Amino acid sequence: MKNILYFLFFITVSYKATAQITYIPDPLFEQELITQNIDSDGIVNGQILTSDALAVTSLTLYYVGSGTGQYIEDLTGIEDFINLESLIVNGTMVEELNVSTLVNLKYLDCVDNMLTSVDVSNNILLEYLDVSSGGDVYPMNHFTEIDLSNNPNIDTLHAVGGITKINLNNGNNNPNMFINIIATYQDTDPDEIYGHTCIEVDDVELAQNNQYPYSEWTVYHAYMTYSYTDDVEECSLSTQSFTQNKINIYPNPVSDMLYFETVDTVIEKVIIFDLSGRKVLEQNEVNTISVSHLQKGSYLIKIFSDKGVQAKKIIVK
Q: pLDDT tens, 209-223? A: 889 999 999 999 887
Q: What are the C-alpha distances in Å from 194 to residues 55, 67, 190, 247, 259?
A: 44, 33, 11, 16, 22
Q: What pTM was computed for the model? A: 0.74
| CATH 2.60.40.1930 domain residues, the chain | 248-316
Q: Does domain 248-316 have CATH number 3.40.50.1100?
A: no
Q: Please say if the pLDDT value at position 121 is more than 50.
A: yes
State pLDDT tens for residues 63-75: 998 878 789 999 9
The reply to whether CATH 3.40.50.10490 applies to domain 24-237 is: no
Report whether 147 contacts 186 (CB < 8 A): no
Q: Which of 60-74, 100-114, 165-179 has the lowest mean pLDDT?
A: 60-74
Check if the beta carbon of residue 274 is closer than 8 Å to that of residue 297: yes
> Which regions of the chain carry the CATH code 3.80.10.10?
24-237
For residues 113 and 91, give the distance between their C-alpha atoms in angstroms, rounded to a whole number: 5
